[in-house]
Chain A
């Protein structure tokens, strides 16, 4: 069983479209994240939820909206897609407020905006 799974793995879409990426974790973790990895492999946190509550919201355009229906799911919805949104998006989870624990990552969603 995949611990953190995200779908789709690849997403090609036109500028201006609205798309969603789904993420689910079966680890029983309280905290989930979205990271963006650019073409130079740099990882930047976008959002974090703890028990369905938004706790980290970095400087991200408001076209990006996370939604957490329950603590096992954190979906990312993107409105009015732009060319600069092309990247690999990683979902991750961690136990949350437990010290010294690592984050577990999904396989990534490669988004290409054309």
Chain B
């Protein structure tokens, strides 16, 4: 079956620190991969996506590379800001069932000034 596993949080960093949030997946086919962000009190917003192996998704200084050999899609940012404090969700959609999205458990990021 399909599943997504993320590192547990919370992750606490100082402003301008380097961020990595690990995400690995299990899928029967060739999924598309996504990172969503949820700011306090809000819904989920798409942060970035990658649709095939070796693709790199990027947005707002965040990056993630679709690694088929390690079934990973780790989220990185070189210098975090206080405004990046949120919950980050890794997700996949399955090519055989692309009406269904599978989400990881979310990783809360706290960035301190």
Contact = CB atoms under 8 A, between A and B. Distances in A.
Whether A and B are associated in the same complex: the answer reads yes
Contacts of B99: 31, 48, 50, 55-56, 94, 96-97
Contacts of B46: 102, 104
Contacts, number: 63
Contacts of B106: 41-43
B95 A99 contact: yes
A66 interface: no
Given A41-B108, A50-B99, A99-B32, A107 B42 contact: yes
Contacts of B100: 45, 48, 56
Contacts of A104: 46
Interface in A52-104: 55-56, 90, 92, 94, 96-104
Contacts of B101: 33, 45, 92, 94, 103
Interface in B56-113: 87, 89, 93, 95, 98-101, 103, 105-106, 108
B1 interface: no
A105 B98 contact: no
A15 B89 CA distance: 31
A7 to B, nearest CB: 13
Contacts of A97: 98-99
B43 A100 contact: no
A101 to B, nearest CB: 8
A102 B105 CA distance: 18
Contacts of A105: 36, 43-45
B98 A99 contact: yes
A102 B100 CA distance: 10
Interface of B: 32, 34, 36, 38, 42-46, 49, 51, 87, 89, 93, 95, 98-101, 103, 105-106, 108
26 contacts: A4-B43, A35-B103, A41-B38, A41-B105, A42-B105, A42-B106, A43-B106, A45-B100, A45-B101, A48-B99, A50-B99, A56-B99, A56-B100, A92-B44, A99-B51, A99-B98, A101-B32, A101-B93, A102-B34, A102-B49, A104-B46, A105-B45, A106-B43, A107-B42, A107-B43, A108-B42
